[in-house]
Structures are given as structure tokens and as C-alpha cells.
């Protein structure tokens, strides 16, 4: 009974946040890429595409409001209203323990039904963002996934969580928050899109990726029968993503700057110490959907 309940809860969590991304699993990438993958042509991801150095404390010091983003299985267009991300340190003296991601959104319209993760999830399911390769996330690379999956798969969680790379930031005059805007990519943009740009989402449909990830998760679950009691049957998963974050709910100036930066046009950095000067991002911005933030009440 207890085990069955736990399994059900985990599945609800998976369904609610669906953050396990396929692209960290190498074999999934190969299958998911298919013949249209630019991997074979070598143009995507752009040379030296990477995350930027990040002060995670400052990054998490104030909420972020999504200006534009790619619609995803777990964030469809119908739910892109008043989208806000708030991060709190799990352990204020140890960034390695990661951040709790409190994602907030309305469904159907501005101030519509509230949904999200962690404190906004109706099952109170905690969503975590953990440093991927460094103790303090200072390379700008995090991994996002449900705490339940971390607890269930203490060794395999890295291949189940989804990559969250901060690939560009706009400097802030406020030293506490350091950044006024940020571009987040769901890992490497491996696939070619329009006009030679790159995207994290496969051009063909994602059935193959989802099926492969499902099989991989199922395999992990089968290896840990003591915990799950039975195979996992996860619903649809997603991979990739692209988000434009601003500290201000409505911020057309930052959105314009992020669009330019994402596409790779040169934007003279206002502060060379803070602004990354890495290779062009060369990202496809044509599929980004504007997120309405006007009039949002943002339930506490």
C-alpha cells in the first residue's frame, strides 16, 4: 500500500513537472537526432557553445519572470501566463545542496488556475536545481529534476535530470542580484533550425526520444525493485528548451537584448567583467512564444 502510494506519487510528480530530459543519455541523443540531425553535418551546436560563469547566490537572490520561451510538453502554450521562477537555497551555507525551484504559472489566461512546482505544486512535489559539474554551479550548468527522483536514483539522477544552462546574462547595477536578465538553454542546441541557427528540440517529432527515455527510466526502476516495487510507467517527457528571463515582469528592452544575444548578433557588453564574451549563441528564436505578464497577481 505504502509502496504503491509512493510509486503513484512519483508518477504524479513526473507527470506534473516532466523535467527528465533525454539529451543527457548518449544513446537517446543518437536515436533522437535521426537523419535530420545536424550532428552529422557538424553545424550544431555552434562551436564553443557553453554556459557562462555564474554566481548562483546572486542568480537566486530575486525572482525571474519569463519574457519568452519555447512551448514544451510540460509547459504548453495554454500555460504560458504569468510564468515566474523563484529559487531558494536548500542549504544557505552550501550551494552544492542545490536550489528549490518554485515555478509559478497560470493556465488558460492571466491569473487563471495556478500551477507550478514545489510550493506551487498541488502535490507539494519539490523540484530541484543542482550544480551539474561544479560544487557551486559557477560554470552556469545546473540539472533540474524532482527531488523524488534524486532520492530514488541517488546514482543515476544525473542522466534523468534535465540540463539547465545559463548561457548569457545581462549585468545589473544591483550587486545583490548581479544580473538583470538571463538566457537559459536546456543544454546543447544540437539540432539545426531555420537559417543555420541551432535548437535544443529535435526537428522531427520526439516520439523516439521519449520512448528511449521511458525505456531507460524503466530499466533503472527495474534495477531498484525494493524502492519502486514495480516498473515505472512514466508519461511523456521532454527535452531541451529556451527561456528568456528578466527580473522585471514586463521588460521589452531586456527581451530585445536577449533576442539579439541569442541569435548571435554582437551586443556591446556594458560591463566586460560581468558579461560573457564567448562564442555566438546562434540560437533559433523563431519558435519562442511571448509570455504574458501584464496584470499578473502572482499568488504568494
Q: Which of 61, 132, 216, 291 is the binder for ligand NAG (CB under 6 A)?
A: 61
CB–CB of 73/258 below 8 Å? no
Q: Residue 231, interface with ligand NAG (CB under 6 A)?
A: yes
CA distance 169 to 189: 18
Q: Residue 47, interface with ligand NAG (CB under 6 A)?
A: yes
Q: Residue 174, interface with ligand NAG (CB under 6 A)?
A: yes
Greatest alpha-carbon span in the chain: 60
> How many CB atoms lie under 10 A from the CB of residue 287?
14
Phi, psi (rounded to 5 degrees) for 9? -60, -45
CA distance 298 to 300: 6
**Interacting positions 83-102 with ligand NAG (CB under 6 A):** 94, 96-97
Q: Residue 215, interface with ligand NAG (CB under 6 A)?
A: yes
The three three-digit cell numbers of residue 282, written as one number: 546562434
Q: Which of 22, 101, 168, 214 is the binder for ligand NAG (CB under 6 A)?
A: 214
CA distance 186 to 113: 26
Q: Which stretch binds ligand NAG (CB under 6 A): 2-10, 75-83, 169-177, 181-189?
A: 169-177
Q: Which of 3, 286, 297, 299 is the binder for ligand NAG (CB under 6 A)?
A: 286
Task: Kindly state the smallest distance separating residue 13's Cβ from ligand NAG, in Å.
Answer: 13
Q: How many residues sit close enough to ligand NAG to count as binding (CB under 6 A)?
A: 23
Q: Residue 73, interface with ligand NAG (CB under 6 A)?
A: no
Q: Residue 266, interface with ligand NAG (CB under 6 A)?
A: no
Q: Residue 300, interface with ligand NAG (CB under 6 A)?
A: no
44: CB partners within 8 A, 6+ apart: 38, 189, 190, 191, 192, 198, 199, 282
Q: Which stretch binds ligand NAG (CB under 6 A): 25-33, 74-82, 154-162, 210-218?
A: 210-218
Per-residue CA distances from 160 to 23, 95, 150, 174, 189 (Å): 9, 21, 9, 35, 18
CA distance 45 to 27: 17
Residues in the chain, how many? Answer: 300
The three three-digit cell numbers of residue 159, written as one number: 542522466
Q: Which is nearer to ligand NAG, 62 or 250 (CB)?
A: 62
Task: Kindly state the smallest distance separating residue 110's Cβ from ligand NAG, in Å.
Answer: 23
Q: Which of 9, 11, 12, 62 is the binder for ligand NAG (CB under 6 A)?
A: 62
Task: Kindly state the smallest distance separating residue 93's Cβ from ligand NAG, in Å.
Answer: 7
Q: Which of 40, 73, 88, 124 is the binder for ligand NAG (CB under 6 A)?
A: 124
> How many CB atoms lie under 10 A from the CB of residue 153?
20
Site residues, ligand NAG (CB under 6 A):
47-48, 61-62, 94, 96-97, 124, 174, 176-177, 194-195, 205, 207, 214-215, 218, 222, 231, 233, 279, 286
Amino acid at each position: 500500500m505504502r509502496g504503491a502510494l509512493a510509486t503513484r506519487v512519483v508518477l504524479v510528480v513526473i507527470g506534473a513537472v516532466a523535467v527528465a530530459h533525454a539529451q543527457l543519455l548518449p544513446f537517446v541523443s543518437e536515436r533522437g537526432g535521426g537523419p535530420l540531425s545536424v550532428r552529422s553535418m557538424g553545424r550544431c551546436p555552434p562551436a564553443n557553445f557553453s554556459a557562462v560563469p555564474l554566481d548562483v547566490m546572486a542568480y537566486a537572490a530575486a525572482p525571474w519572470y519569463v519574457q519568452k520561451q519555447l512551448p514544451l510538453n510540460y509547459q504548453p502554450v495554454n500555460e504560458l501566463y504569468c510564468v515566474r521562477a523563484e529559487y531558494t537555497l536548500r542549504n544557505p551555507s552550501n550551494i552544492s545542496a542545490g536550489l528549490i525551484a518554485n515555478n509559478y504559472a497560470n493556465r488558460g489566461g492571466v491569473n487563471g488556475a495556478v500551477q507550478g512546482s514545489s510550493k506551487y505544486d498541488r502535490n507539494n512535489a519539490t523540484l530541484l536545481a543542482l550544480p551539474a559539474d561544479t560544487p557551486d554551479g559557477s560554470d552556469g550548468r545546473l540539472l533540474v529534476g524532482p527531488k523524488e527522483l534524486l532520492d530514488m536514483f541517488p546514482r543515476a539522477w544525473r542522466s534523468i535530470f534535465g540540463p539547465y544552462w545559463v548561457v548569457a546574462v545581462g549585468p545589473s547595477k544591483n550587486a545583490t542580484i548581479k544580473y538583470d536578465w538571463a538566457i537559459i538553454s536546456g543544454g546543447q542546441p544540437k539540432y539545426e533550425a531555420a537559417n543555420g541557427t541551432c535548437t535544443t528540440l529535435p526537428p522531427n517529432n520526439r516520439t523516439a526520444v521519449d520512448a528511449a527515455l521511458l525505456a531507460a527510466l524503466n530499466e533503472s526502476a527495474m534495477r531498484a525493485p525494493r524502492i519502486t516495487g514495480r516498473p515505472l510507467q512514466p508519461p511523456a517527457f521532454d527535452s531541451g528548451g529556451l527561456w528568456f528571463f528578466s527580473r522585471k515582469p514586463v521588460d521589452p528592452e531586456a527581451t530585445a537584448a536577449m533576442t539579439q544575444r541569442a541569435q548571435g548578433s554582437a551586443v556591446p557588453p556594458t560591463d566586460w567583467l560581468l558579461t560573457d564574451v564567448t562564442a555566438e549563441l546562434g540560437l533559433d528564436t523563431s519558435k519562442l512564444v511571448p509570455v504574458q505578464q501584464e496584470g499578473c497577481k502572482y499568488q504568494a
